[in-house]
Amino acid sequence: MQVTSTTQDVVDTLVDSVLLSSPGFKIAAIKAEAREIRGAPQGVVQFTFGGIEWKLGADAAHAAAQDLSIAGAVIEQPEVAQVGRRLAIAAFRAKAAAACLIVRAA
């Protein structure tokens, strides 16, 4: 499925503003691939970062920003969890696609 410019803009913004500034991750290791999720509400994007598949959706955006948690996330690596929290906050503040993150091992 073709990536819309809006979807790519969201991912580019998140990568530039959050992921590249996060300690513990090397720029060379970042691979972000975005695509619209078939059948999902408009504004939901999915991309891969650090071997983790990330789905961003509008559900629970407010809650994610309020308590710095990641809705439905199962994460064992502390540094990945920290990036996820920052990603949720940045997405909410920027009013980007979403702040609800669901991750799983890729």
Task: Report which of 103, 97, 58 is spatially closest to residue 84, judged by C-alpha positions.
Answer: 103
Q: What is the pLDDT of residue 1?
A: 38
Write the pLDDT tens digit of every residue in 75-85: 344 555 566 55
Neighbours of 91 (CB within 10 A): 24
First-to-last C-alpha distance (Å) of the chain = 19
Q: What is the pLDDT of residue 17?
A: 55
Q: Would the pTM count as exceeding 0.75? A: no
Write the pLDDT tens digit of every residue in 52-80: 555 555 443 333 333 333 333 333 445 55
Q: Check: CB of residue 68 under 8 Å from CB of residue 52.
A: no
